Amino acid sequence: MKPTFSPRSTPAPTTNRDIFTRDLAGELIDMNDPEFERIKEIILETTRLTSELNSGHHSPERVRELFSQIIGKEVDCSTWIIPPFYVDYGKNIQVGKNFFMNQCCTFMDRGGITIGDEVFIAPKCNLTTINHDFNPYNRQATFCKPIVIGNRVWIGIGVTICPGVSIGDNSIIAAGSVVTKDVPPNVIAGGNPAKVLKSIEGYEK
> pLDDT tens across 112-163, in order?
999 999 999 999 999 999 999 999 999 999 999 999 999 999 999 999 999 9
Strand partners, 94: 114
97, part of any domain: yes
Backbone φ and ψ of 194, nearest 5°: -65, 140
Question: What average pLDDT does range 77-90 have in this prediction?
Answer: 98
Note down the domain range covering 61: 19-197
132, part of any domain: yes
Does the annotation count 57 as an active-site position? no
How many Cβ atoms from other residues are within 10 Å of residue 46's Cβ? 20
145, part of any domain: yes
93, part of any domain: yes
| Total domains in the fold of the chain | 1
Write the CATH number for 135: 2.160.10.10
The pTM is what? Answer: 0.91
Of residues 17, 48, 62, 132, which has the active-site annotation? 132
What percent of the chain clears pLDDT 70, i.e. is strictly above it? 93
8, part of any domain: no
pLDDT at 15: 59
d(CA 60, CA 176): 28
5, part of any domain: no
pLDDT at 2: 46
87, part of any domain: yes
